[in-house]
Amino acid sequence: MNWIQRLRFLVKKNDTDVELDEELRFHLDRQIELNIANGLPPAEARYAALREFGIVDQIKEECRSSRGLDWLNGIAQDVRYALRNFRRNQGFALTVLAVTAIGIGSSAAVFSVVDRILFRNLAYSEPNRLISMGITIPWMDYDFLTWADYGELKRTPTQLQGITSWAGVVDCDLTGDRPLRLACARVESSFLPVLGVQPVLGRNFAPEEDRPNVPGVALITHAMWQSRFAGQPSVIGRRLTIDGAERQIIGVLPPGFELPTLEKADLVIPQALPPLPAAGGRPMQVYGRLKPGATTQQFRDSVMPLADRIFSFAPPQARKQLKFQVKSLQEMQSGDMYLAAWTLFGAVLAMLLIACANVANLLLARSLARQRELAVRAALGASRSRLIRQTLTESMLLSLAGGIAGILLAYGLLRVFMYIAPVGLPHLSGAQLDLRVLAFSLAASLLCGFVFGLAPALHTPSASTISGARATPRSSMITRHALVSAQLSFSLILLTCAGLLLQSLWNRQRLALGMRTENVVTAELALTIRYSQPSARLHFFETLEQRLARLPGVETVALSDSLPPGGVPRTQPLYALEGSVRTEAQPNSGIVVWRHITPGYFRALGIPILKGRAFTEEDRGPKQMAVVISQSLAAKLFPGEDALGKQMRRFPKGPLYTVVGIAASVRNGGLTDANHPEYYLVRRHSDDDALAASTVILRGQARPELLESWIRSEVASLDPVIPANIQTFDQHMGELAARPRFQALLLALFAAIGLILSASGLYGLISYLAAQREREIGVRLALGATPAQILKMILAHAFRWTAAGLAIGIAGAAAAAFALKGLLFHIEPADPVAFTSAALSLGLIALMASLVPSRRASRVDPMTTLRQD
Amino acid sequence: MSKPTDLVQGTLDLLILKTLTLGPQHGWSIAQLIKERSEEVLLVQQGSLYPALHKLETQGFIESEWGDSENNRRAKFYALTRKGKQYLKEEEANWERLSRAIGLIVKMA
């Protein structure tokens, strides 16, 4: 019989069933006739024939299955039956659905986020062969090689197939009819080929075009091509005026193009290196593509002699701080997000397990309640495998439905993540539910369905249970208890980790900054190319400073090149500084931060001057050489003496500055423990001190919104096209804590959901147990037990399993806490308070969850329960 | 109810097919014929007969047709197909070999 016939049988199932009925009935009738012919009375003849015949339904069932359409038929039947069951038990089905959806939804959403950080390949061809190399020094935020060193590396034979460099992203201005501030990535001509990126239109630039003083060229991003040139192919050959110079568009980058540092760029332009110098030259970031089969380690070994040679030129004091790094591009890109992403992934797995255990318990409880029904079905001829299939079908159906609901939930959650996530989290903006994520959720839901479907299915009763006298099999009760304990232990892990992260967040935000930040509004300004002349920049900022100072309600106006505690301050190695005792600075003593400020800075940020004075207007004379140093720097440069009035150099043989004041130390290493010595130079009325980018700091009693709008209108009246990023100082601080807050928030969310799930699991189990033992309790009460004793008995039982869950949970939490050590701040992974409070709160919630059903059980009326059945 | 073993199942197939060489039969008469011809030694249960018939039909060794029975009632008649005759030949040969082998051992002194 072929497939079509089989299907026809399935469709015409009723017809074949009728035929089968008729066929068997004919047989029966003939047998009866024969019996009568053999002389039996009609009634007895009929009875004998029937007895010989056996169970008609079973024969039919076997005939059907011998036709080989049974499984298809059976599944349809199972599904129909399951749906009818769900309709009858809506509460149960909805609970399972909700728990599955939460588990799967949140794991799919988190997987979409971490997938791109942890597992996805970079957007280049064969990305695992791409490496980043360079010298790491504490005061540079990327690894680099100088132009000369890079030239030498290029000449050295290595395991590299290709090597390339770039000079990072800079602001550039598109002038002309629609002026725009853009980001330009300056790269070598080999940059795109080494990464394996092909322009979708036009071409990459040639080495001859990557030189100074040749006609400029540029590649534009796909997004810019679409938005500014409406995706027309004629864009090739068009001219753009970038920073006052004409560039010809020669190519369009593919849609998914991203820089290895994930910085945003609108244009890719040649870095136009000058001729190779004998030594030094500008710093550049260097990437290479390994030859097929070559390993990073082989390459590292082969370049070490070169690295040693480079370091031999470095001043001996500095050598200790230098390191030649070779790492995969992926590792370079994810950086510190790696640990955070793993944490998130672990958290969501824990939650998925809790949800799974929870649903397993629900199904198990239900299958126990249905034991009698299943026993009846077994007695009516359903085989054991058939019953197992039925139970599995139900749970798979539930988890699939839960999975679909979960995918919808994941979609919403991902939106929420993107909304609350800090800027600069790699890849988050591109995160979306794609096929792989969908496959993950589907696999997760089916696995869940299989796992928690199997547990009840294994308890499918044999026909002997039909009497229903025997209550719950002991093994299943142990499974159920173990599942609740597992939920509790995973909850404890989540709770402890969330507690540690929240405490870290709190520690970070409570960090003494050393300044007063209330009533302070800041505005970051970056001047456009119109201000290429230093005098124009100087004029702009000095006018702005004067105008803002005249506004009512403004107490102090200051300009600085950067803002503590984060920002990007200017730094230099400490050993370069010369105070009275230069030698005191150790070679590996770290870095010193410095800022270029106007006299109002200390008052605007409320930084106390401990000795001497702050800058005055007189210090701004073009020839003045005043410096204010922080207390910590004073202790380093002038140990044991009064630094005030002393002189210092910023670098060997540099000009001398006179220390006019000593300021209190301010936190300047971001929200971390790194706190560097610092000095301040005043912005003089001199072209030498004219910066293109500055931050305005405004302290005033007026409302922040008012101050913000004033700054905006004053800036606009000077130049309407200058973009200004205006925010209160507290908002600026908030941005710094954004990542830790995001991590702590998500983990806390998972911990909360996990807690609710496991508490409800415990509640359900204790209620069930109490209901099962109602008769026993009734007897005990009737025999004189007090309700308090009953309560104690049930609670003691709950406590045993809770304690087991907590004990395992503490062990797991300890392991997890040590794994996320890198995310913690001012708190030890083994913080006793975090562990005790998590265990106590979980224990308390477990107590509440078991107290309610226990109390109910202890108050049963013995007479009612004893009269039942 | 225990399932017939493969041997019994296979033998039943052989018995049914052989019976059908007498011409198209319905289920009841197949059972009766097997019973009579085996001198009431082989009793085929309905619970085995009908599943076996349906399976043989699915495998294409027999085909069925509704027709009038000896007492003028509608009954389902089964008949051998060409494929079934071929299969029967093989099964008979197998059976000869098997029963000869068993006979040799049983008759062993």
Rounded CA-CA distance B18/B92 in Å is 9
Interchain proximity B75–A26, CB inside 8 Å: yes
pLDDT at A45 over 80: yes
Interchain proximity B28–A27, CB inside 8 Å: yes
For chain A, the distance separating the N- and C-terminal CA atoms, rounded to the nearest angstrom, is 54
In sequence order, which residues have a C-beta less than 8 Å from that of residue A838 and are 6 or more positions away?
Answer: A492, A495, A496, A499, A813
Interchain proximity B51–A66, CB inside 8 Å: yes
- In this prediction, residue A724 carries a pLDDT of 77
CB of A54 within 8 Å of a chain B CB? The answer is: yes
For B63, name the nearest residue in chain A, comparing CA atoms only: A1
Q: Which helix (H) or strand (E) holds A379?
A: helix A371-379
pLDDT at A67 over 70: no
- For chain A, the average pLDDT equals 81
For residues A163 and A306, the answer to whether their CB atoms sit within 8 Å is no
- For the ranges A8-12, A304-308, A509-513, the maximum mean pLDDT occurs at A304-308
Residues 47-106 of B with CB under 8 A from A: 47, 50-52, 54-55, 57-58, 60, 66, 69, 71, 73-76
Interchain proximity A27–B54, CB inside 8 Å: no
- In this prediction, residue B5 carries a pLDDT of 38
pLDDT band at B6 (very low <50, low <70, confident <90, very high): very low
Nearest CB to A53 within list B32, B46, B75: B46
Q: Which residue has the higher pLDDT, A366 or A102?
A: A102
For A58, name the nearest residue in chain B, comparing CA atoms only: B47
Amino acid at A508: R
For residues A627 and A658, the answer to whether their CB atoms sit within 8 Å is yes
Interchain proximity B28–A66, CB inside 8 Å: no
Q: Which helix (H) or strand (E) holds A760?
A: helix A738-772
- In this prediction, residue A327 carries a pLDDT of 85
Q: Using CA atoms of A786, A789, A790, A791 in order, give the dihedral in degrees to the nearest 10.
A: 120
SS3 sequence of A107-139:
HHHHHHHHHHHHHCCCCCCCHHHEEEEEEECCC
Interchain proximity B76–A58, CB inside 8 Å: no
pLDDT band at A121 (very low <50, low <70, confident <90, very high): low
Range from A130-144, A177-191, B29-43 carrying the lowest mean pLDDT:
A130-144
A-chain CB neighbours of B28 within 8 Å are 26-27, 30-31
């201005």: which residue's tokens?
A: A173
pLDDT band at A661 (very low <50, low <70, confident <90, very high): very high
Q: Which residue has the higher pLDDT, A612 or A23?
A: A612
Chain B interface mutation, best of A20, A26, A36, A70, highest count of B Cβ atoms under 10 Å? A26
- In this prediction, residue A804 carries a pLDDT of 92
- In this prediction, residue A489 carries a pLDDT of 93
Interchain proximity B76–A33, CB inside 8 Å: no
In this prediction, what percent of chain A has a pLDDT beyond 70?
Answer: 85
CB of B2 within 8 Å of a chain A CB? The answer is: no
Phi, psi angles (nearest 5°) of residue A3:
-65, -40
Q: Which residue has the higher pLDDT, A69 or A404?
A: A404
Question: Which CATH architecture describes the domain B6-106?
Answer: Orthogonal Bundle (1.10)
pLDDT at A229 over 80: yes
Q: What is the mean pLDDT of residues A61-68?
A: 68
* Relative orientation angle of helices A70-88 and A90-114, to the nearest 10 degrees: 110
For residues A581 and A599, the answer to whether their CB atoms sit within 8 Å is no
- In this prediction, residue A52 carries a pLDDT of 75
For B59, name the nearest residue in chain A, comparing CA atoms only: A1
For residues A150 and A273, the answer to whether their CB atoms sit within 8 Å is no
Closest by CA to A100, choosing from A451, A476, A488, A390, is: A451
Closest by CA to A111, choosing from A336, A367, A410, is: A410
- In this prediction, residue A648 carries a pLDDT of 87
CB of A57 within 8 Å of a chain B CB? The answer is: no
A-chain CB neighbours of B52 within 8 Å are 66
Q: What is the mean pLDDT of residues A761-771?
A: 81
pLDDT band at B7 (very low <50, low <70, confident <90, very high): very low
**pLDDT tens across B55-76, in order?**
888 888 998 888 888 777 888 8
Q: Which residues of A749-766 are buried (b: 16+ CB within 10 A; e: fewer)?
A: bbbebbbbbbbbbbbbbb
CB of A66 within 8 Å of a chain B CB? The answer is: yes
pLDDT at A2 over 60: no
- In this prediction, residue B66 carries a pLDDT of 86
Distance set, CA A45 to CA A732, A794, A827, B69 (Å): 98, 61, 90, 21
Interchain proximity B50–A63, CB inside 8 Å: yes
Nearest CB to B47 within list A23, A54, A68: A54
SS3 content of chain B, % helix, strand, coil (to 5): 60, 15, 25
Taking the CA of residue B106 and the nearest CA in chain A, the distance in Å comes to 33
Q: What is the largest CA-CA distance in chain A?
A: 138
Taking the CA of residue B108 and the nearest CA in chain A, the distance in Å comes to 38
Interchain proximity B55–A33, CB inside 8 Å: no
Q: Which residue has the higher pLDDT, A72 or A142?
A: A142
Taking the CA of residue A380 and the nearest CA in chain B, the distance in Å comes to 12
Interchain proximity B26–A29, CB inside 8 Å: no
Interchain proximity A67–B54, CB inside 8 Å: yes
In sequence order, which residues have a C-beta less than 8 Å from that of residue A561 and are 6 or more positions away?
Answer: A569, A570, A595, A596, A597, A691, A693, A694, A695
Amino acid at A613: R
**pLDDT tens across A303-327, in order?**
888 888 877 766 666 666 677 888 8
Task: Name the 3-class secondary structure at A269.
Answer: strand
Domain residue extents for chain A: 3-68, 86-124+335-470, 138-321, 471-510+734-869, 529-720
pLDDT at A299 over 50: yes
Q: Which residue has the higher pLDDT, A775 or A192?
A: A192
CB pairs under 8 A between A and B: 67
A861: which 2 tokens? 């009326």
**pLDDT tens across A552-574, in order?**
888 899 999 888 876 666 777 77
- For chain B, the average pLDDT equals 82
pLDDT at A576 over 60: yes
For B61, name the nearest residue in chain A, comparing CA atoms only: A1
SS3 sequence of B25-60:
EEHHHHHHHHHHHCCCCCCCCHHHHHHHHHHHHHHC
A-chain CB neighbours of B26 within 8 Å are 23, 26-27
Nearest CB to B51 within list A19, A33, A62: A62
pLDDT band at A815 (very low <50, low <70, confident <90, very high): very high
Nearest CB to A24 within list B50, B73, B74: B50
**pLDDT tens across A593-643, in order?**
889 899 999 999 999 999 999 999 889 888 888 999 998 888 888 888 888
Domain residue extents for chain B: 6-106
Nearest CB to A30 within list B28, B60, B66: B28
Residues 24-53 of A with CB under 8 A from B: 24, 26-27, 29-31, 33-34, 52-53
A463: which 2 tokens? 């026909």
